[in-house]
Chains A and B, each alone.
Chain A
Amino acid sequence: MYLDYNLLEKCYKCGACYDLCPSCLNLPGYDPRKVIGDILADNYEHWLNSESIWQCLECHHCLEICYQHYGFENAMTALRTLASKRGLTPQQVKRGWDMFVRTGKLGEPQSSARKRLGLPQAAESGKDSFLKLFKIYQDSKGVKT
């Protein structure tokens, strides 16, 4: 993934989507242009530890209304990815990720509840095939397991 600084530059001067962004409108302190300004000034480190970058809801409103089909969210995603690399993910994201790479799922069907509701047995999960694929993926990236 890379960030297009040309687009970011334009985005920094624009701000047209503030009126549609649910977080800009409702969460005090959420201000994507400030973040983008800091990225352009190469002074973004302090954002990695902030709540702000996790307040982008990935609702894609900014993307849809944007005249360059760009969207604030690209900058936020980039910072969240960096934050994750440094181990700065929120607890729940970390827990979800751990479960995902262990099982390929974020939760399993509950057979007792299914019985009570008269639902058929749930289809089998693709866990084994997923784990095999995950291993291949890690090898391809040279990750030691």
Chain B
Amino acid sequence: MKDFAVFWGCTIQARFPFLEVSTRLVFERFGLPYRDIDGFTCCPEKSLVNNIDHGLWELTAARNIAMVEEMGLNLVSPCTGCVSNLATVNKELCHDEAKKGAVNSMLKEVGLEVGGHAALHHLVPFFHDEVGINAVRSRVVIPMKGMRVAIHYGCHMIRPSHSLNNDDPLEPVKFDRLVEALGCESVKHRTKMMCCGQGLDRVDQHENALHMARIKLRELSSLDIDAMVLCCPSCYLQFDNNQFLMEKDGEKFGIPILYFTELLGLAVGYGAEELGLMNHRVGVAPFLEKWERIGGEGSEVGGLESELEDIGVFGL
């Protein structure tokens, strides 16, 4: 596997550094060739920068991409917004030579050039496509059989598909498959593909943001779910922090929110504390308690090879 730079993005590092902890731990456990590189800026955030100045949005993203290219790396990010923004600009430049030329004439002044050939991955499809379901399954220490989780994809993990091209944009499957490989049941629900609505908090419409969060959380409360699993700091903010705020005001949901790297980290044998789970605002204890109670019960890690020991024709 080609070495890759991790694009942490502003939100994870400024607000949720514990998500960086679990991400690093799972990279370590899978022996992935990740690197921290100096010089990134904001991706930049689309709703904010693009709405005010499209050209600066493109130029800033192009600069980040060019840095990765110059070092001969690919890029992986645990932030959905970052990947979507970078990939969108990357595609725009690849399809418009004139624009790419204009961008490059400016980048040249800071010693960079964008070609558009680095792979830009979101962490979830990256685990599915590059690490592989089998590798994930075979690393599971305590299977999550019996755990019922609701997957929240998050819009920008998979859309716009003409830029990301990593799953079906309306009926994606990769996140489900990964979570199922850990032994969890991915519970079907009506609001599965609904946008989290956190964007409304960024445009001074807090009540509307809560309204959107409530719609999904209400459905999940009625479904006997052990946790919602997601992989986007903005969605995490919406469902952990805003759920906490609503609970403080007397609305009860009780839905633990787990980042994909945390769920994966638990399954491959890291402890809850080590992964930083006590930093969540909505407690994850109910999930952990149930898992401890039933974890591994009568469940096999599974996979064909687990039953094939010693029977290989070639003696392998």
> Which residues of A are at the interface with B, using a C-beta cutoff of 8 A?
1, 20, 22, 26-27, 51, 54-55, 57-61, 63-65, 69, 77, 80-81, 84, 89-93, 96-97, 100, 104-110, 113-114, 117-120, 122-127, 129-130, 132-134, 136-137, 140-141
Contacts and interface: CB of A to CB of B under 8 A. Distances in A.
A93 B37 contact: no
B193 to A, nearest CB: 8
A64 B161 contact: yes
A18 B249 CA distance: 32
Interface string B1-41: 00000001011011101101100100000000000111111
Interface stretch (B123-131, B201-209, B285-293): B201-209
B3 to A, nearest CB: 15
Contact of B204 (A90, A105, A119): A90
Given A100-B48, A107-B15, A119-B17, A22 B205 contact: no
Contacts of A141: 55
Interface stretch (B56-64, B142-150, B259-267): B56-64
A57 B155 contact: yes
A118 B274 CA distance: 10
B273 to A, nearest CB: 11
Q: Most chain-A CB neighbours within 10 Å: which of B8, B45, B64?
A: B45
A92 B63 contact: no
Contacts of A140: 106
A93 to B, nearest CB: 6
Given A69-B162, A106-B14, A81 B54 contact: yes
Contacts of A137: 55-56, 59, 106
Contact of A126 (B38, B47, B160, B215): B38
Contacts of A126: 38-41, 63-64, 67
Contacts of A114: 17
B316 interface: no
B82 to A, nearest CB: 11
A129 B48 contact: no
Contact of A22 (B161, B202, B212): B212
A96 B39 contact: no
A91 B48 contact: no
B203 to A, nearest CB: 4
B203 A117 contact: no
Given A93-B47, A100-B45, A125-B39, 15 more contacts: A1-B54, A22-B194, A59-B159, A61-B159, A63-B159, A63-B160, A92-B202, A97-B52, A105-B42, A106-B44, A117-B18, A122-B36, A130-B60, A133-B60, A133-B110
For chain B, give the interface size range.
35 or more
A140 B104 CA distance: 13
Contact of B42 (A26, A27, A106, A136): A106
Contacts of A55: 200, 203, 205, 208
Given A64-B161, A123-B36, A133 B59 contact: yes
Interface of B: 8, 10-11, 13-15, 17-18, 20-21, 24, 36-42, 44-52, 54-56, 59-60, 63-64, 67, 106-107, 109-110, 155-156, 159-162, 169-170, 194-195, 197, 199-205, 208, 211-212, 215, 276
Contacts of A130: 41, 60, 63
A107 B143 CA distance: 37
Nearest to A82: B51
A133 B107 contact: yes
A140 B161 CA distance: 32
A56 to B, nearest CB: 8
25 contacts: A22-B195, A27-B211, A58-B47, A60-B155, A64-B160, A77-B51, A81-B52, A89-B52, A90-B202, A90-B203, A93-B48, A93-B202, A96-B202, A97-B49, A106-B48, A117-B18, A117-B20, A119-B17, A124-B38, A126-B40, A126-B64, A129-B63, A132-B109, A134-B56, A137-B55
